[in-house]
């Protein structure tokens, strides 16, 4: 049998991305560096975030409003730079990405453009256990339009006894209900189970019936490979504070497929920041939309939030998105070895992995049958930061940019001591 501790150490030693860990501030409690597994909730702070923010503040003091156009890094250039830094990560054309607002706000704005109920086609297909904010968004939005949410929101759920929605069940639901569906809104990665949805096949099926298909990528962006343009996704929204490490409440992102950019008749809530760059400051009465995703912007964005995102994306770009994904695959293989070994000793079946083995990114969700909350608390006391989701789930998401193989190894050792004390 291989010695896991030295195997983990060896993997860490040979890891070409290991050096990026020091680019992040790792939380320290009582002198102990924490094993932080919550990149899916709030990514850690890049060390250079402070410097990037400081640069914005200096430009503000040095140039006042002219800082939008002048200085070492004019704020408008930053605006153009961020989408290009996200192009690989999302598989989008630069013109298909805009950086604005926050996730739930952006979902409402996308509903304005993409939820177009007509005749019998008025329903929205979503999942029963969607993230609460997405549910509140859908309910309040359709109510605002005068619909009864229970009549227009169609929720699909996993088969009983299961936690994951089968791809075929989603495709079947689209087939069955296509005559009444206007739109589909699903996550790219499910927040509770970590399951990846097959965005390509779902979109293709939706488009067979002329149904608009959008995705919430909160748990997908910066986590799994995406090809939003090629998959022909209509729209997608994400927040930038989870896997993207942009900082709490930082500015979000939106993908709008280029096929919608040059249409006159799309509905949209508009503001001056969506007006063409070169005529914006003429302050004319007529709105002239940018011919790209930026047309959906409304308000002056905060360059401070741009800076936070820039700080983190520059690390992604430096490390290389493909290298990050390669390490994630290796980490996952190692992670499942640890799980299998743990399970081989878990005779009473105290833990159950609810994440589908071959359809996930960084996150693994562990269902704990006994004493779950207590175990989670004890993990925390021992320096393992994971999260707890009612009723019985511990989620952990080791990320390639700052986690180590040995942290995963130690996590399962610690879990073993808590669950099967010898």
In the bound state with ligand PLP, the residue whose beta carbon lies nearer, of 48 and 386, is: 386
In the bound state with ligand PLP, the residue whose beta carbon lies nearer, of 96 and 134, is: 134
Helix (H) or strand (E) holding 252: none
In the bound state with ligand PLP, the residue whose beta carbon lies nearer, of 289 and 301, is: 301
| CA angle 253–276–111, rounded 5-degree value | 40
Structure-token pair, residue 366: 């562990």
Residue ranges in 89-108 that form contacts with ligand PLP under rule CB under 6 A? 102-104
In the bound state with ligand PLP, the residue whose beta carbon lies nearer, of 240 and 310, is: 240
Please give the size of the binding site for ligand PLP, defined by CB under 6 A: 12
In the bound state with ligand PLP, the residue whose beta carbon lies nearer, of 102 and 363, is: 102
Query: Could you tell me the sign of the dihedral formed by the alpha carbons of 124, 205, 169, 357, in that order?
Result: negative
Is 127 among the residues that bind ligand PLP (CB under 6 A)? Answer: no
Of 415, 333, 332, 406, the closest CA to residue 368 belongs to: 415
Phi/psi of residue 261, nearest 5 degrees: -75, -35
CB 62 to ligand PLP: min, Å: 32
Whole-number Å distance between alpha carbons of 39 and 361: 12
Residue ranges in 343-372 that form contacts with ligand PLP under rule CB under 6 A? none
CB 362 to ligand PLP: min, Å: 14
Stretch that binds ligand PLP, among 129-137, 141-149, 279-287, 376-384 (CB under 6 A): 129-137
DSSP 340-401: HHHHHH-TT--EEE-S-TTSBSS-EEEEESSSHHHHHHHHHHTTEE-EEETTTEEEEB--TT
In the bound state with ligand PLP, the residue whose beta carbon lies nearer, of 194 and 398, is: 194
Structure-token pair, residue 41: 């909730």
CB 375 to ligand PLP: min, Å: 24
CB 286 to ligand PLP: min, Å: 32
In the bound state with ligand PLP, the residue whose beta carbon lies nearer, of 251 and 379, is: 251
Is 50 among the residues that bind ligand PLP (CB under 6 A)? Answer: no
CB 217 to ligand PLP: min, Å: 8
Whole-number Å distance between alpha carbons of 175 and 13: 50
Residue ranges in 200-259 that form contacts with ligand PLP under rule CB under 6 A? 216, 218-219, 239
Residue ranges in 149-188 that form contacts with ligand PLP under rule CB under 6 A? 187
Is 275 among the residues that bind ligand PLP (CB under 6 A)? Answer: no
Whole-number Å distance between alpha carbons of 108 and 130: 15
DSSP 182-244: EEEEEESB-TTT-BBP-HHHHHHHHHHTT-EEEEE-TTTTTTS---TTTTT-SEEEE-SSSTT
Judge contact between 110 and 254, C-beta under 8 A.
yes
CB 189 to ligand PLP: min, Å: 9
Whole-number Å distance between alpha carbons of 247 and 253: 14
Of 199, 208, 178, the closest CA to residue 255 belongs to: 199
DSSP 3-67: -HHHHHHHHHHT-TTGGGGGGB---EETTEE-EE-BTTTSPPPBTTHHHHHHHHHHHHHHHGGGG
CB 84 to ligand PLP: min, Å: 23
* Binding-site member from 73, 87, 133, 201 for ligand PLP (CB under 6 A): 133
In the bound state with ligand PLP, the residue whose beta carbon lies nearer, of 48 and 106, is: 106
- The site string for ligand PLP over 181-200 (x = CB under 6 A, - otherwise) reads ------x---x---------
In the bound state with ligand PLP, the residue whose beta carbon lies nearer, of 96 and 216, is: 216
In the bound state with ligand PLP, the residue whose beta carbon lies nearer, of 24 and 197, is: 197
CB 319 to ligand PLP: min, Å: 24
Is 131 among the residues that bind ligand PLP (CB under 6 A)? Answer: yes
Structure-token pair, residue 183: 């739109």
Is 134 among the residues that bind ligand PLP (CB under 6 A)? Answer: yes
CB 215 to ligand PLP: min, Å: 10
Chain contacts with ligand PLP (rule: CB under 6 A):
102-104, 131, 133-134, 187, 191, 216, 218-219, 239
């Amino acid at each position: 049998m291989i010695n896991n501790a030295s195997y983990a150490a060896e993997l860490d030693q040979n890891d070409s991305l290991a050096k990026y860990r020091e680019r992040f501030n790792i939380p320290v409690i009582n002198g102990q560096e924490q094993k932080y597994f919550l990149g899916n909730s709030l990514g850690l702070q890049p060390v250079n975030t402070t410097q990037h923010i400081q640069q914005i503040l200096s430009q503000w003091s040095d140039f006042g409003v002219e800082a939008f156009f002048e200085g070492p890094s004019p704020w408008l250039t930053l605006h153009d730079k961020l989408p290009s830094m996200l192009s690989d990560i999302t598989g989008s054309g630069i013109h298909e990405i805009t950086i604005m607002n926050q996730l739930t706000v952006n979902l409402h704005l996308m509903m304005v453009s993409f939820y177009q109920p007509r005749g019998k086609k008025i329903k929205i297909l979503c999942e029963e256990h969607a993230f609460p904010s997405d549910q509140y968004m859908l309910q309040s939005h359709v109510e605002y339009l005068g619909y009864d949410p229970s009549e227009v929101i169609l929720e699909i759920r996993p088969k009983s006894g299961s936690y994951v929605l089968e791809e075929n069940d989603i495709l079947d639901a689209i087939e069955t209900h296509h005559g009444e569906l206007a739109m589909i809104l699903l996550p790219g990665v499910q927040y509770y189970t970590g399951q990846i949805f097959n965005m390509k096949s779902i979109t293709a099926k939706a488009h067979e019936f002329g149904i608009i298909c959008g995705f919430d990528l909160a748990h997908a962006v910066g986590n799994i490979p995406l090809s939003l343009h090629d998959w022909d996704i209509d729209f997608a929204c994400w927040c930038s504070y989870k896997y993207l490490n942009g900082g709490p409440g930082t500015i979000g992102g939106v993908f709008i497929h280029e096929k919608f950019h040059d249409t006159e008749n799309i509905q949209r809530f508009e503001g001056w920041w969506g007006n063409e760059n070169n005529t914006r400051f003429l302050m004319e009465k007529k709105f002239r939309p940018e011919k790209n995703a930026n047309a959906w912007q409304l308000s002056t964005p905060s360059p401070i939030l741009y800076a936070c995102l820039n700080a983190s994306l520059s690390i992604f770009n430096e490390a290389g998105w493909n290298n990050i994904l390669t390490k994630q695959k290796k980490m996952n293989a190692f992670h499942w070895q640890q799980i299998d070994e743990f399970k081989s000793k878990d005779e009473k079946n105290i833990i159950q992995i609810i994440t589908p083995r071959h359809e996930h990114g960084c996150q693994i969700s562990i269902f704990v049958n006994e004493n779950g909350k207590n175990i989670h608390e004890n993990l925390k006391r021992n320096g393992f930061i994971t999260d707890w989701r009612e009723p019985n789930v511990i989620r952990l998401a080791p990320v390639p940019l700052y986690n180590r193989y040995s942290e995963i190894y130690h996590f399962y050792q610690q879990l073993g001591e808590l669950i099967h004390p010898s």
